[in-house]
Chain A
Amino acid sequence: MSSPATAAGPVTAAPAARPRRALRVPRPGYLAGKLAAAVVSFGVTLVIGFVLFNLMPADPVRTMTRGRPVSEAQLAQLRIQLGLDKPIWQRFLSYVDDILHGRLGYSWEYQQSVASLVAQRLGPTLLLMGTAFVISVLLGLWLGMRSGWRAGSLFDKVTSATALTLWSVPTFWLGMILLIVFSVGVGPIHGFLPTAGMSDSSLPQTGMTHYLDVARHLVLPALTMVLVVYAQYVTIMRSSIIEEKGSPYLLTARAKGLTDDAVRRRHALPNALLPSVTMIFMHLGGLISGAVTVEAIFSWPGLGDLTYQALTIPDLPVLQGTFIVFSASVIVMNLLADLAYRFLDPRVRAS
């Protein structure tokens, strides 16, 4: 989790550094460079995953068999079965090989391959994160644009104060409060939204009723995530519109006699949008953090809930699997954001 203020620091540095590098490197090389960087990042993720989950736990076999009667011979047998008797470099190579082939290990708790667990849970997470992401981006960009354009106005002050307060609230706590108010019911409010899960098992699992049911279950988790996440987007958009506001081309637009509204929407917005969108994609890691806690609170059957359940056991293969899947998706999204920025902004492309 990073604060809006510190978040703006490293991020504003990134677009400034990019054109300089692009000067030296021609276009195909740029693509290759970015790809190589992403591959190296993934490699580092693999190393961290290996160190965390394969080297640091004192004796995985004991953790695995905890609470069950096992003899020393059985333990030794398990160790050979898991390849724990081999030297570290061999274990690392077979670990990398496994992961690159999609074999993410075998869950101790679910007695099922981690890859199949992840596949089952991916859909709900994408639905929740996607919904929350789209709503908070639209809301954040709109509010950021309005408040940045009139920086210092009452609207700006109210927007910024609200965003800062909501950002300072722990996600899971906000989710619990919403859950109590809208699902359990407080005072005059009767709980009218479902407390947990993604659908009501007593209803048919197909067709329109099912979609409406899922939408009803989606309201609170998505709302919680939006409330905590949108603040970052407000800050990003606000500072980038303030940056654009002093530009000479806006003076030209005004001198042409355009209305303030047209200047803002047709001239300032497209230019401010560009860096904002890139930064938003670079902040996707924050969305994942939100997803873990929100899914845990609302028992939303996604990857975050899987992580949480694995944590309580602790089921290390599942934790390793979700860690690698989360990291890989962030790396891929950052790469796409990088490439999209270059594609969208002719100034970067030309240089």
Chain B
Amino acid sequence: MSTTPTVTPAAATDAPAGAAAAAPPRFAGARRFARSFRSRRAGLAGLGILLLFTVLALAAPAFIGPDQLDVTKVNGPLLAGPSASYPLGTDQAGRSVLMLLIWGARESLQIGVIATVLTVVFGSAVGIVAGHFGGFVGRALMHVTDWFIALPSLPLAISLAAVLGQGQASITIAIAATSWTATARLVRAQTLAVEARPFVERARALGAGNRQIMLRQVLPNVMPLILVSSTLTVAGALLSEATLTFLGLGSPTDVTWGEMIHDAFFGGAFTANAWWYLLPPGLAILAVVLGFTLTGRAVEHVLDPRMENKR
């Protein structure tokens, strides 16, 4: 990416770029990043999708009340096709599919994001510690990671969720427990690379302890990579959430996209040919997963221009 300082009017309205104009040099990186990200159409499209769904999810409580989601309180027609009052038709209990879809964004994204935070925090901690302490501790941690990588993730997640019982909490834990390994490996490799650089040696010579090196020197340098990998983790977590819920591990009263597909499949949408009920949740999952993946890849490319032709 060329970094010629041509500030377009659009750049001035950009929040981080605008702040950078006021000169604190720490924002120069953010400005360069924003400019280079903007030239990636796929990444922008991904970010747009994510923004749209985030806004919908956050605004949902403003126009959807519990009455519209409670199967005992709704009075719409059962499994009816799209109409003026129900743009996406209704489900087997007479609820508006559009409302379910918007509310589902809330709960699905919530599970995906919480599972990702757990994954990333745990995986990064293991990765940094394993990379920093090269000896016995590091090797032991890496072996544990390898054991978990060897296990097939869905059967493990199914078993875990089955034992913990139905519900969002156990699904979240099951996803985190099966996906932290990839982050741990990635972060460990990056930690090793960062620790080989002179400024870590300098910090050590100045008397920095293990904790200070890990938190103040390694973590900030590994952070961009962690962020990129977490966007991809969210994509995977959303798919896992949908899969586990579809298999019946979610709680039937929750409204998530996976639960909607589960209800559609087992609630008669299938034989009634209710495409308006089956298609939207799947397309929504597809859109959000694509959104996260595209954004993540664009950020990855911006941070590491060398991979230009790799993927």
Binding site for B on A (CB under 8 A): 1-10, 13, 37, 40-41, 44-45, 48-49, 52-53, 56-57, 151-152, 164-165, 168-174, 176-177, 179-180, 184, 186, 235, 238-239, 242, 284-285, 288-289, 292-293, 296-297, 307-308, 311-312, 314, 316, 319-320, 322-323, 326-327, 330-331, 334
Contact = CB atoms under 8 A, between A and B. Distances in A.
B155 A242 contact: no
Contact of B152 (A173, A174, A326): A326
A10 B243 contact: no
A10 B282 contact: no
Given A5-B296, A170-B285, A180-B278, A10 B149 contact: yes
B273 A177 contact: no
B233 interface: yes
Sort A-B residue pairs by CB-CB distance and give the 9 closest, nearest first. Answer: A289-B154, A173-B282, A285-B152, A168-B289, A44-B147, A326-B155, A3-B232, A10-B185, A288-B152
B286 interface: yes
Interface string B254-295: 000010010011000011010100110110011001100100
A45 B182 CA distance: 18
Contacts of A179: 270
B220 to A, nearest CB: 21
Interface of B: 143, 146-147, 149-156, 158-160, 162-164, 179, 181-182, 185-186, 189, 229, 232-233, 235-236, 239-240, 242-243, 246-249, 258, 261, 264-265, 270-271, 273, 275, 278-279, 281-282, 285-286, 289-290, 293, 296-297, 300, 309-311
A170 B243 contact: yes
Of listed B156, B278, B297, residue having the most chain A CB within 10 A? B156
Given A53-B159, A292-B154, A152 B273 contact: no
B293 A235 contact: no
A6 B247 contact: no
Nearest to B157: A289
Contact of A13 (B163, B185, B236, B285): B185
Contact of A10 (B186, B264, B265, B273): B186
Contacts of B164: 56
Nearest to B161: A311
B270 A184 contact: yes
A5 B152 contact: no
A131 to B, nearest CB: 19
Of listed B156, B159, B240, B248, residue having the most chain A CB within 10 A? B159
Contact of B300 (A5, A297, A316): A5
B269 to A, nearest CB: 9
Given A176-B270, A176-B278, A327 B311 contact: no
A235 B153 contact: no
B208 to A, nearest CB: 28
Contacts of A308: 247-248
Given A6-B186, A6-B232, A164-B290, A307 B282 contact: no
Nearest to B185: A10
A6 B152 contact: no
A334 to B, nearest CB: 6
B232 A327 contact: no
Given A5-B232, A52-B163, A169-B282, 8 more contacts: A6-B186, A9-B229, A151-B309, A170-B239, A176-B264, A284-B152, A311-B162, A331-B150
Contacts, number: 180
Contact of B147 (A2, A9, A40, A177): A40
B155 A327 contact: yes
B154 A13 contact: no
Q: Decide if the interface of chain A is mainly helix, strand, loop or mixed.
A: helix
Of listed B147, B186, B279, residue having the most chain A CB within 10 A? B147
Nearest to A10: B185
Nearest to A57: B163
A323 B156 contact: yes
B127 to A, nearest CB: 11
Contacts of B233: 6
A1 B151 contact: no
Of listed B158, B258, B290, B297, residue having the most chain A CB within 10 A? B158
A292 B155 contact: yes
A186 B163 contact: no
A334 B271 CA distance: 42
30 contacts: A1-B153, A1-B239, A2-B182, A2-B236, A5-B293, A6-B236, A9-B185, A10-B186, A13-B189, A41-B147, A168-B235, A170-B242, A170-B258, A173-B281, A173-B285, A176-B282, A177-B282, A180-B270, A186-B275, A235-B311, A239-B310, A239-B311, A285-B154, A288-B154, A292-B155, A293-B247, A311-B158, A319-B159, A326-B152, A326-B155
Contacts of B243: 1, 170-172, 289, 293
A170 B246 contact: yes
A320 B158 CA distance: 10
Contact of B154 (A1, A151, A177): A1
Nearest to B310: A239
A330 B150 contact: yes
Contacts of A242: 309-310
Contacts of A45: 151
Given A2-B236, A6-B233, A289 B152 contact: yes
Contact of A330 (B151, B270, B279, B297): B151
A72 to B, nearest CB: 24
Of listed B162, B232, B278, residue having the most chain A CB within 10 A? B162
A5 B156 CA distance: 22
